């Protein structure tokens, strides 16, 4: 059931759990995430970056793929189709293309410009029933050219962007996309506490969900994180499962002409199963299992 992400995230915040946002890259990923959410009776957010959407055939193709799969697979749990780290133009295009949720990432813009564009997009998104996430610029992060720690958002700036009317806020608390460096110092739970205090009841978003120790995820949820974005973890398990299948010679041509392990439906199956297992593990950790109503 396609919905915007507002209610599922408000419920998560009130219930002290988080909804997984899982990025998609193709049909297999989309099916794996949707079917796992259904099996676990969990709401879910299907995220797509502009780059992945371009690879998959554009925003309309992605919106229609998710909608049609949702219908074909008989998915009844709440599913939001969400633009990840959108530009101003990208967010507008996704609202037009039938996404139910968008992120406008104006964090690299001067604050006043970010606020003005966010305000404008909030109005447009809400006029179409679409939920909207935004992000403010951040401080810290790189020292002597070495990024060992993610950026930490300023609570006052967070409050300003929340006042633009957004539905959920991405706030840096030391998190980083991709694989964390060995000398990463961990999430700044104290900073999250201040941001949560400054922004009231709005659901907060944790990007860079891959590789954060479970205890820190649990602590972050306790301090107001209600949406956790995961991409690299699914990429890693998908790649490894495919590598193992090929390394075992299962994709090689065979004499019997029966097994046909090179058939793409067979070749991609181990990766599909691996994503399902990873999504299940994350939903259990985030506490969203059984929360679809």
Structural contact between residues 33 and 46, judged by C-beta atoms closer than 8 angstroms:
yes
What is the contact mask toward ligand 13P in residues 214 to 233, using x (rule: CB under 6 A)? Answer: ---------------xxxxx
Contacts with 73 (C-beta within 8 Å, 6 or more apart), sequence order? 31, 34, 35, 38
Helix (H) or strand (E) holding 115, with range, is: helix 111-127
Count, residues near ligand 13P per rule CB under 6 A: 14
- Among 86, 155, 172, 209, which residue interacts with ligand 13P (rule: CB under 6 A)? 209
Q: What angle do CA 157, 187, 90 make, to 5 degrees?
A: 50
Among residues 11, 70, 84, 233, the one annotated as catalytic is 84
Judged by beta carbon, residue 81 or residue 245, the one nearer ligand 13P is 81
- Among 36, 38, 210, 226, which residue interacts with ligand 13P (rule: CB under 6 A)? 210
Q: What angle do CA 49, 205, 232 make, to 5 degrees?
A: 45
- Is 84 noted as a catalytic residue in this protein? yes
- Scanning residues 139 to 198, which ones bind ligand 13P (CB under 6 A)? 177-178
For the chain, the distance separating the N- and C-terminal CA atoms, rounded to the nearest angstrom, is: 11
- Among 13, 207, 276, 282, which residue interacts with ligand 13P (rule: CB under 6 A)? 207
Smallest separation, CB 52 to ligand 13P (Å): 10
CA distance readout (Å), 82 to 59, 131, 176, 187, 228: 10, 9, 20, 25, 13
Question: Judged by CB under 6 A, does residue 101 bind ligand 13P?
Answer: no
Q: What does 38-89 look like in DSSP terms, one character per residue?
A: HHTT--EEEEEEHHHHHHHT-HHHHHHHHHHHHHHTT--S-EEEEEEEE-HH
Smallest separation, CB 232 to ligand 13P (Å): 3
Interface positions with ligand 13P (CB under 6 A) = 23, 84-85, 177-178, 207-210, 229-233
Residues that are catalytic: 84
């Amino acid at each position: 059931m396609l919905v915007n992400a507002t209610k599922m995230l408000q419920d998560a915040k009130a219930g002290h759990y988080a909804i997984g946002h899982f990025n998609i890259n193709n049909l297999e990923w989309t099916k794996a995430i949707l079917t796992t959410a259904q099996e676990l009776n969990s709401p879910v957010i299907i995220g797509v970056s502009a780059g992945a959407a371009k690879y998959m055939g554009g925003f309309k193709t992605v919106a229609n793929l998710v909608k049609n799969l949702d219908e074909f697979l008989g998915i009844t749990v709440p599913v939001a189709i969400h633009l990840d780290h959108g530009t101003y133009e990208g967010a507008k295009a996704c609202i037009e293309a039938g996404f139910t949720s968008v992120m406008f990432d104006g964090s690299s813009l001067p604050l006043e410009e970010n606020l003005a564009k966010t305000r404008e997009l909030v109005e447009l998104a809400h006029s179409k029933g679409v939920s909207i996430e935004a992000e403010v610029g951040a401080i810290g992060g790189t020292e002597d050219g070495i990024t060992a720690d993610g950026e930490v958002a300023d609570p006052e700036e967070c409050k300003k962007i929340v006042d633009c009317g957004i539905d959920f806020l991405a706030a840096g608390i030391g998190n980083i996309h991709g694989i964390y460096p060995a000398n990463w110092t961990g999430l700044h739970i104290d900073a999250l506490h201040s941001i949560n205090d400054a922004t009231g009841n709005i659901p907060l978003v944790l990007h860079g969900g891959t590789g954060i120790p479970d205890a820190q995820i649990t602590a972050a949820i306790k301090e107001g994180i209600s949406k956790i974005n995961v991409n690299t973890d699914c990429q890693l398990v998908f790649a490894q499962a495919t590598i193992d299948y090929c390394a075992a010679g299962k994709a090689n041509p065979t004499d019997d002409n029966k097994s046909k392990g090179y058939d793409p439906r067979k070749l991609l199956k181990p990766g599909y199963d691996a994503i399902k297992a990873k999504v299940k593990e994350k939903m259990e950790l985030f506490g969203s299992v059984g929360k679809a109503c």
